[in-house]
A = this chain, B = another copy of it.
Amino acid sequence: MSPPPYAIGIDLGGTYLRAALVERGKGFLEQVQVETEAEKGPDHILDRAADLARRMMRAVPGDEVAGLGMGAPGAINWERTTLSHPPNLSGWTKVNVREALRERLGQPDLSVTLENDANVAALGSAFYSVGQPYDSFLMVTLGTGVGGAIIYRDRIFRGTTGGAGEFGHLSIDHEGPVARSGVAGAIEAYLGQRFLSRHARYRLLARETVLHERAGDDLEDLTPKMLFEAAEDGDEAAREIWTWAGHKLGCALGSAINLLDIRTVIVGGGVAAAGDYLLDPTREAMQRTVIAGLREELHLEREPLGNDVALLGAAQLTFQPDPGDVAGPGETAPTERAPAAS
């Protein structure tokens, strides 16, 4: 008997809670989005998530749903069952989401897998988007912060405790500006949204740029979006900021590639909207800082699907046995499968 072809993906964010029904290897059948209403606490959020899951499940026969995967911010335990201290979700300390959803859905044996949001986005890209041609890549998410994930041989590389892939904390200058994490010269201290805006502001204050009209004379309101729009409008000063930022990013990527021998990088997140203004100089610096022996077949791609890859990747968790569950050398974990739903 072939395995059930569908899975539920849930993307738990601070603002929106999204769910989808995904067909293995194909993509979305249904999608739905509601507000998270994070201020009402974990029980409320889990009720809403279970509601969405139930709606998604209704679209196909119960025995064709392999399980449910969820991407979430915050610390997830090695067994991928429990979410602790998610940022932006008030009153949420530590919850076993697997048990909470099984109970609410009345399916005590349902396959439920939790994973870090950056990791599920990368998995989604690997199986349903621009990551498909590559069995290994580094995903970098440029948003409020700089996140990341490592896909190695079509799996999430989780490290010792599930915390691997935090590219934002890689340093390019051990005596450089200090990021929120406390790491000097971390790439997040250059490309994180606030850091980027601040660097840009100081670099542009004395320059001629259309941004003085758009972001206030002292550029106090400058955002990456404004920098992108100004670059699009032909503003040289704005373009130079992206060149500066891309150079930093490329240097950080070069270091990571030298260490990992993983030569494809996929860039997502809001700031990646800057496109080639950012990515051309990134590519150039990356090419130059990667050692000669690894310089062939370097790829830098932009993830075009936005948040959808997180939903697809969350569902994909269900379809993939987890290398993290491998008990020892030579052993492969069984894939957890949902029984026929009642």
A136 touches B (CB below 8 Å): yes
User: Does chain B have a CB within 8 A of A328?
Assistant: yes
A261 at the interface (CB under 8 A from B): yes
A163 to B175, CA, bound (A): 29
How many angstroms between the C-alpha atoms of A252 and B291 in the bound complex? 17
The answer on a CB contact under 8 Å between A259 and B174 is no
Chain A interface: which size bin? 35 or more
A254-B171, A254-B183, A292-B181 known; A329-B153 Cβ under 8 A? yes
User: Of the candidates B166, B258, B260, B261, which one forms a contact with A258 in the assembled complex, judged by CB atoms under 8 Å apart?
Assistant: B166
In A98-140, the 8 Å CB interface with B consists of 136
> Measured between alpha carbons, how far is A228 from B318 in the docked complex, in Å?
55
Copies of this chain in its oligomeric complex: 2
Q: Are B258 and A255 in touch, CB under 8 angstroms?
A: no
The smallest beta-carbon distance between A213 and chain B, in angstroms, is 33
B248 and A174 within 8 A (CB): yes
Name which residue of chain B comes closest to A135, CB basis.
B160
Given known contacts A171-B254, A258-B166, is B291 in contact with A184 (CB within 8 Å)?
no
Residues A167 and B259 in contact, CB atoms below 8 Å apart: yes
Complex CA gap A181/B323 in Å reads 34
Bound-state CA distance A163–B167 (Å) is 20
Residue pair A261, B291 in contact (C-beta under 8 Å): no
* Residue of B with least CB distance to A251: B174
Residue of chain B at shortest CB distance from A180: B291
Answer whether residue A340 sits at the interface, using C-beta atoms and an 8 A cutoff: no
Q: How many Å from the CB of A139 to the closest CB on chain B?
A: 13
A255-B254 Cα distance, complex, nearest whole Å: 13
Chain B residues closer than 8 Å to A153, beta-carbon distance: 323, 326, 329
Given the interface pairs A173-B173, A183-B258, A255-B171, the reply to whether A163 lies near B332 with Cβ below 8 Å is no
In whole angstroms, how far apart are the Cα atoms of A149 and B21 in the complex? Answer: 41
CA distance A172 to B251 in the complex (A): 10
Asked if A336 CB lies within 8 Å of chain B CBs, one says no
Chain B CB within 10 A, most for which of A160, A170, A185, A292: A160
In angstroms, Cα B331 to Cα A321, docked, is 11
Q: Is A315 located at the chain interface by the 8 A CB criterion? A: no
Given contacts A150-B259, A259-B260, A321-B330, 10 further A-B contacts (CB under 8 A): A160-B263, A162-B261, A163-B293, A164-B261, A165-B259, A169-B291, A173-B174, A173-B175, A174-B252, A183-B254
Q: Nearest 5 A-B pairs (CB), nearest first? A: A159-B261, A169-B258, A174-B251, A163-B261, A164-B261
Instruction: Offer 29 A-B interface pairs, CB within 8 angstroms, sorted by A.
Output: A136-B159, A136-B160, A150-B259, A153-B329, A154-B328, A154-B329, A158-B261, A159-B260, A159-B262, A160-B261, A160-B263, A163-B294, A164-B259, A164-B260, A165-B261, A166-B259, A169-B255, A170-B255, A171-B172, A171-B254, A172-B173, A173-B175, A174-B252, A183-B258, A183-B289, A183-B291, A184-B251, A186-B258, A320-B329
